[in-house]
Structure 1
Amino acid sequence: MGEQSPDGGRKTAKATERAAPSGKSTPPKKAAAKKGAAKKGAAKTAADEKAGAASKKASAKKAAPVKKAASVKKAPAAKKVTVAPKKATARIKGTAPAKAVVHPPGDESRTALVRRARRINRELAEVYPYAHPELDFDNSFQLVVATVLSAQTTDLRVNQTTPALFAKYPTPEDLAAANPEEVEEILRPCGFFRAKTKSVIGLSKALVEDFGGEVPGRLEDLVKLPGVGRKTAFVVLGNAFGRPGITVDTHFQRLVRRWQWTGETDPDKIEAAIGALFPKSDWTDLSHHVIWHGRRICHARKPACGACPIAPLCPAFGEGETDPEKAKKLLKYEKGGFPGQRLRPPQAYLDAGGRPAPPLGAG
C-alpha cells in the first residue's frame, strides 16, 4: 500500500508540466511572493492616484478665486467719437446724418470731391446770400487802392481810413501828385504805411501815365501796377468789371485746405486747383462765400464747429468748439456782417464802366 503505481506517477508529472508556464515549473513560495508584491503595487498605485486627484481638487479650489478675479476685468473705455451736433446742421436741408469725418484723406474720388465742394458752396450761398467785398468803395479806382491797403490788416480798419484819403485825393491824378508824408500820416492806422504809401502813389502814377487815368479791365495790365498781384487783380476784375476770378487770401487758403479741396500751399497753385472744381461763372461768388465764412465762423485758431452750417460736409469737424452753445459765443457776425458795418446787397457792385450801380435793396 505504501508504493505508487507507475501510471499514477506519470499522471502527476504531466499535470505539473501543464500548470508551469513556458515549460518551467515555479516553486509555490516564489509564486505567492510575486502575487503579494503585485497586490501591494496595485494598492500603492490606487492610493497615489487618489492622493493626486485630491491634490488637484484642492489646488483647483484654491485657484478658482484667482481665475474669477482675473475674469472680472473692466473693459477699456470706448474712444469718444465727435459728431456734428444736430443744431449745427439745422439750416441744411436733406443732408446725410452728421459724421465726424465724412471723407477721410485719400478716400475720396475726384467726382466725390467736386460734388462735395459744390455742395458746400451752395450751402454757404444760402447762409451768406449777400456776400460781397467788405471794402467800401464807389468806383474801380477806390477799389484797387482799398484792396492794396487791406494787406496785413482788416477790411474794417481800411474802411475807417479810406474816407479821409479819398476825400483829399479823389482821383488817380490827385493821388499821383500827393505829398508822400501827408499820405503816410493818413495811412498810418493801416500798418506798413510807408510801403503802402509808395504803392498807392505808384499805382496812381501808372494809371495816369499808362492807362489815361482809368483802371484797366485786364489781368495782365492790372498786375503791372505797383502793389497789385493776382489776388488784388481778381478782386477788381470780379467786383468792378464782372469778370470771374478767385481771390486767394489768407482765409481762402486756410479753408480750402481745411476742407481738403486741395493740399497746395502756393496761392497760384491753389487758384488753379480750386478753379478746376467749379465752373468759371462761380469763381467770384465762391471767393466771397469762403472768405465770409472764414471771417465769421471758421476761424484760424478757434473755429466754431458746433455752430457751422456745413459741419456734416467738413472733414475737419472737431478741430474747434463742438458744443453749440459755446460755439455761438465764437461767432463774429451779426445779421450777415460785423456789428456796425455798412452792408450792401450784391447788386450794389459797379457796372462795366467802373461807375457805382444803384442799390436795389437793403443789406
Structure 2
Amino acid sequence: MLKKERYQAFVNHFSDQMPLPETELFYENPYQLLVAVILSAQCTDKRINMVTPAIFRDFPTPQHLATSNFDELFPYIRSVSYPNNKTKHLLGMAKMLVEDFGGEIPSTVNELIKLPGVGRKTANVITSVVWNQPNMAVDTHVFRVSKRLGLVPASANTPLEVELQLTKHLPKEVIHKAHHWLILHGRYTCLARTPKCDSCPITSICRYFEKNQKMMQKMGLIEGNKPT
C-alpha cells in the first residue's frame, strides 16, 4: 500500500467513525485547558479530571492563580505526577500570562512555548483544540500508533520528526482531528503492550499487523506459507 493510500484510508475511516473527536480533559475555556494540559504531562486524563474541578473553582482566572503561592496551590496538585514542578509551572505560567499577555491565552505556538511548563506538545494541543489550527501534538500514543500504522517511517525517532511527517501528509483541514484519532485509538485499541488487533477496525492498513501476520505465517501459527 502506498503512503498516500494509507493516509487516505486512515482519514476516511475516522472521518466516518469519529467525525467530531474531542479531548477527554474537562475544561470550559482556554485557560482551564492550559492548566489541565500542563498537569497532564506523564499523568492520565482521568486523574487530571479528578483534581482540576477544585483548581478551577478556587483559581477561576489567571489573575487568581497568579496571586497564589506554592504552599496554597500544592495541596490541589499533590496527587498528580511531579507535583512540585507542576505547581511551580502553573504559578509561573499564570504570572507570565498576567504580566506579558494581559491575562489572555496566546493563540500561537511560538508565544505559548514562552510560558513556564509549556513545551511544543502542550502548545500544539492548545492551538489545535481551541482554535482548530493544523498543529499536531505528539504524545506517546500518537508516536506509537502513527509508526505502527505506517503513517510515519520507523526511522522517525523523535516527536518532532513524527509531527512533521504527519502534518506533511495529512490534509490540513483534519490535522486537529487526527491528533485525537491517534490518541484515542492508542488509548483504547492500539495499546502499548497488548494491542487489540483482533478487534481493531483498521488492520487492513496497519503495517504492524501486516508484519505480525507474515511472521506468524512463516512460523506456521496461522494459515499461509508454512516452513518446509
Say whether the 8 Å CA contact 1:121–1:289 is kept in structure 2: no
Residue 182 of structure 2 corresponds to 290
The structure whose Rg is larger is 1
Tell me whether 1:236 sits opposite 2:126 in the alignment.
yes
Say whether the 8 Å CA contact 1:178–1:201 is kept in structure 2: yes
Greater RCO, CA 8 A, separation 6+: 1
Tell me whether 1:138 sits opposite 2:28 in the alignment.
yes
Cα deviation digits, residues 257-293 of structure 1 (max 9, x gap)? 1112222121111111111111221110011111111
Residue 323 of structure 1 corresponds to none
**Coordinate RMSD, CA, aligned:** 1.7
**Residue type of the alignment partner of 1:306:** D
| Structure (1 or 2) with the greater helix fraction | 2
Say whether the 8 Å CA contact 1:135–1:155 is kept in structure 2: yes
Tell me whether 1:195 sits opposite 2:85 in the alignment.
yes
**Residue type of the alignment partner of 2:90:** V
Residue 272 of structure 1 corresponds to 164
Structure 1 residue runs of 5 or longer lacking an equivalent are 1-102, 104-111, 321-363
Residue 310 of structure 1 corresponds to 202
User: How many Å apart are 1:316 and its aligned residue?
Assistant: 1.2
Residue 184 of structure 1 corresponds to 74
Please give the alpha-carbon distance, in whole angstroms, between the structure 1 residues aligned to 2:143 and 2:92. Answer: 28
Secondary structure, aligned partner of 2:209:
coil
Q: How many residues in Structure 1 have an aligned counterpart in Structure 2?
A: 211
Residue 252 of structure 1 corresponds to 142
Please give the alpha-carbon distance, in whole angstroms, between the structure 1 residues aligned to 2:15 and 2:79. Answer: 33
Residue 210 of structure 1 corresponds to 100
Please give the alpha-carbon distance, in whole angstroms, between the structure 2 residues aligned to 1:128 and 1:297. Answer: 14
Matches within 5 A, 1:20-59: none
Please give the alpha-carbon distance, in whole angstroms, between the structure 2 residues aligned to 1:177 and 1:301. Answer: 44
Cα deviation digits, residues 141-193 of structure 1 (max 9, x gap)? 01111001000111111011100111110110111111212211111111210
Say whether the 8 Å CA contact 1:157–1:190 is kept in structure 2: yes
Cα deviation digits, residues 110-145 of structure 1 (max 9, x gap)? xx1022122112212333333111111111001111
Secondary structure, aligned partner of 2:92:
helix
Please give the alpha-carbon distance, in whole angstroms, between the structure 2 residues aligned to 1:203 and 1:164. Answer: 18
Identity across the alignment (%) = 39
Instruction: State the TM-score, normalizing by the size of structure 1.
Output: 0.56
Tell me whether 1:227 sits opposite 2:120 in the alignment.
no
Say whether the 8 Å CA contact 1:244–1:280 is kept in structure 2: yes
**Residue type of the alignment partner of 1:148:** I
**Residue type of the alignment partner of 1:238:** S
Say whether the 8 Å CA contact 1:124–1:293 is kept in structure 2: no
Cα deviation digits, residues 284-332 of structure 1 (max 9, x gap)? 0011111111111110000100100001111211759xxxxxxxxxxxx
Please give the alpha-carbon distance, in whole angstroms, between the structure 2 residues aligned to 1:153 and 1:135. Answer: 12
Secondary structure, aligned partner of 2:162:
helix
Please give the alpha-carbon distance, in whole angstroms, between the structure 2 residues aligned to 1:255 and 1:157. Answer: 23
